[in-house]
């Protein structure tokens, strides 16, 4: 362990937006897992079902980890590739702002409203601001094509992200920009844009798991009628730590959060608009479970509730700590939550309950297909 204390490793973001490929340097205090941080080529993305090369790579890793992990249960093999060490974030303590916004059919109003909310959150000390899922127009299959923007083209083709870029640069704030409908060629996505303090798009997450559910008499929604699912998990290194991104229904798939934890995320942000049926049943439960199971922070941001809307959001934007504890939350009205994140609690909880060292790699293994392919 001692030689690793002062070692420096270079890491690259997974799924970095190509216009903002960046390198981050982290100092690593102790080695939980194998010593080489895997370098992922962004050219080597999982795009389809080419499992031939994967088959060659799929293996149970040799037990080459540091003595601290020595165990016949091979805990490091519970993730394939093995989990990366938790990076030291650029900042340990900071404030997050969750903007639970009312959303109207007036896109220009929504954009101005979001701009003001971000400004207010920053005024109150937020270094990271999170917006709701689909904040620039109504959440409906009819509206997605109407409000969709060409994010890659930018500028006038995407006034919503142009605003996010402008504010993040001007106020030097990191923004997890909720989500908007994205038009790309003849396809539509539910996309979350992450902007750095320089105003640049650092990453874009396209919702991986589309919201297709049918609870008769309660809630039926088939997002796949209009939207296409994203092809890759998204973890991005920001000025406020390594953040994994999921959008709403993505939170139901525990595997995604497990992958993010194994990639070294400090925080997972889920912009999401749960509804009046699944909201009370599952919204807080899923957030707390993802945080407690993976021993990291989880932040969610919902639109405020509009009972006149076609889709009525549950609200209840929340910050959860690495012990599964609700640190800050709100009801369903418009609100800006300002709450403190302290990443040192991640290490503390992982020391209290050393789940990572107790996993049974001899019995189960979660494969991160994209990382495995890129090895």
CB of 128 to a copy of itself, least distance (A): 25
Contacts with a copy of itself in 205-234 (CB under 8 A)? 208-210, 212-215, 229, 231-233
Helix (H) or strand (E) holding 270: strand 267-271
Residues 27, 338: Cα–Cα separation, whole Å:
29
Is 133 considered catalytic here? Answer: yes
Residues 351, 12: Cα–Cα separation, whole Å:
27
Query: Residue 50's CB: how many other CB atoms inside 10 A?
Result: 10
Residues 244, 272: Cα–Cα separation, whole Å:
14
Q: Please identify, among the stretches 87-95, 104-112, 192-200, 252-260, the one whose residues bind a copy of itself according to the rule CB under 8 A.
A: 252-260
With CA atoms as reference, report the closest residue to 221 among 144, 277, 143, 140.
Answer: 140
CB of 12 to a copy of itself, least distance (A): 19
CB of 375 to a copy of itself, least distance (A): 14
Is 223 considered catalytic here? Answer: no
- Answer for which of 44, 142, 198, 325 binds a copy of itself (CB under 8 A) is 325
Max CA distance (Å), the chain: 61
The answer to whether 271 and 130 are in contact (CB under 8 A) is yes
By CB under 8 A, is residue 22 in contact with a copy of itself?
A: no
Nearer to a copy of itself, 147 or 283 (CB): 283
DSSP assignment, residue 266? S
Residues 166, 175: Cα–Cα separation, whole Å:
11
By CB under 8 A, is residue 281 in contact with a copy of itself?
A: yes
Q: Please identify, among the stretches 137-145, 151-159, 190-198, 347-355, the one whose residues bind a copy of itself according to the rule CB under 8 A.
A: 347-355
Helix axes 159-171, 107-123, angle to 10 degrees: 20
By CB under 8 A, is residue 235 in contact with a copy of itself?
A: no
By CB under 8 A, is residue 186 in contact with a copy of itself?
A: no
With CA atoms as reference, report the closest residue to 204 among 168, 169, 245, 240.
Answer: 245
| Interacting residues with a copy of itself (CB under 8 A) | 46, 48-49, 51, 54-55, 58-60, 63, 72-74, 78, 80, 208-210, 212-215, 229, 231-233, 252-256, 258-259, 281-282, 285-286, 288-289, 292-293, 323-325, 351-355, 358-360, 362-370
Residues with catalytic function: 133, 207, 248
């Amino acid at each position: 362990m001692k030689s690793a204390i002062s070692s420096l490793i270079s890491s690259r973001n997974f799924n970095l937006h190509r216009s903002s490929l960046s390198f981050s340097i982290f100092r690593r205090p102790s080695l939980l897992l194998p010593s080489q941080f895997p370098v992922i080529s962004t050219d080597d993305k999982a795009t389809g079902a080419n499992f031939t090369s994967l088959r060659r790579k799929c293996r149970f890793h040799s037990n080459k980890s540091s003595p601290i992990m020595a165990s016949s249960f091979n805990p490091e093999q519970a993730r394939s590739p093995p989990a990366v060490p938790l990076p030291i974030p650029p900042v340990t303590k900071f404030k997050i702002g969750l903007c639970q916004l009312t959303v109207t059919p007036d896109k220009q109003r929504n954009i101005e409203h979001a701009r003001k909310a971000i400004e207010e959150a920053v005024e109150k000390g937020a270094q990271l601001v999170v917006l709701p899922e689909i904040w620039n127009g109504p959440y409906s299959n009819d509206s997605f094509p109407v409000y969709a923007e060409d994010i890659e083209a930018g500028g006038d083709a995407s006034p919503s992200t142009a605003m996010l870029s402008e504010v993040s640069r001007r106020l030097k704030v990191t923004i997890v920009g909720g989500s908007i409908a994205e038009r790309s060629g003849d396809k539509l996505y539910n996309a979350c844009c992450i902007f750095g303090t320089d105003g640049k798009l650092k990453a874009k997450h396209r919702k991986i798991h589309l919201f297709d559910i049918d609870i008769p008499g309660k809630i039926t929604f088939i997002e796949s009628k209009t939207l296409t699912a994203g092809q890759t998990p998204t973890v991005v290194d920001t000025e406020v730590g390594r953040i994994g991104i999921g959008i709403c229904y993505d939170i139901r798939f525990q595997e995604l959060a497990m992958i993010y934890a194994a990639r070294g995320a400090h925080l997972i942000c889920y912009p999401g608009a749960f509804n009046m049926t699944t909201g009370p049943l599952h919204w807080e439960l899923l957030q707390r479970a993802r945080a407690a199971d993976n021993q990291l922070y989880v932040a969610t941001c919902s639109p405020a509730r509009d009972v006149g809307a076609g889709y009525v959001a549950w609200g209840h934007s929340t910050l959860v700590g690495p012990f599964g504890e609700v640190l800050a939350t709100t009801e369903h009205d418009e609100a800006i939550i300002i709450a403190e994140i302290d990443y040192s609690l991640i290490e503390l909880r992982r020391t209290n309950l050393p789940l990572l060292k107790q996993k049974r790699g001899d019995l189960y293994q979660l494969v991160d297909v994209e990382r495995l392919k890129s090895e």
